[in-house]
Amino acid sequence: MGVLGDQAERVVAEHLARSGFELVYQSRGSRGAFDLLATRGAQQLGVQVKRSPLPLRFTREEWNRMTADAKRLGWRWIVAAVSQAEQVILLDPARLTKGRDVALKASAEIENIVTWVDRPRR
């Protein structure tokens, strides 16, 4: 596994690698809405990495861009929150809360990322 990028991205990459993923870091100029691409067999997973406490907040424009890029690329996608202590919490975008902005709370946590990514798409 080779990953470049900031510390939060490396922490998430290592977390996913320990779960059985291979990772490809995309260059800043070409990656679109996602910081990392994680692959597990034929499954491709776009990962947006945030170093912020929960809940994470996104503008509707940011959220729509991630949704559109994932659909266009045929990827599943998640958001990874990295704490100051470098704890990683993986969040399911389907569990969003909409208001003036879009939020992901602790209730969106993915318990087992391998099971989550292997389940059939809705």
pLDDT in tens, 64-105: 999 999 999 899 999 999 998 999 999 999 999 998 899 999
Model pLDDT, residue 27: 47
Start-to-end Cα distance in the chain: 30
pTM of the complete model beyond 0.85 = yes
DSSP the chain: -B--S-HHHHHHHHHHHHTT-EEEEPPTTT-TT-SEEEEETTEEEEEEEE-SPSSEEE-HHHHHHHHHHHHHHT-EEEEEEE-TT--EEEE-GGG-EESSSEEE-GGGB-S-HHHHHHSPP-
Q: What is the pLDDT of residues 22-73, one digit of tens each?
A: 877 764 545 578 999 999 988 899 999 999 899 999 999 999 999 999 999 8
Q: Does residue 3 carry a pLDDT above 60?
A: no
pLDDT band at 1 (very low <50, low <70, confident <90, very high): very low
Model pLDDT, residue 30: 52
Model pLDDT, residue 58: 96
Interval 8-35 mean pLDDT: 82
At the top level of CATH, the class of 7-118 is: alpha beta
d(CA 20, CA 113): 10
Report the largest interatomic distance among the alpha carbons of the chain, rounded to a whole angstrom. Answer: 39
Q: Does residue 122 carry a pLDDT above 90?
A: no
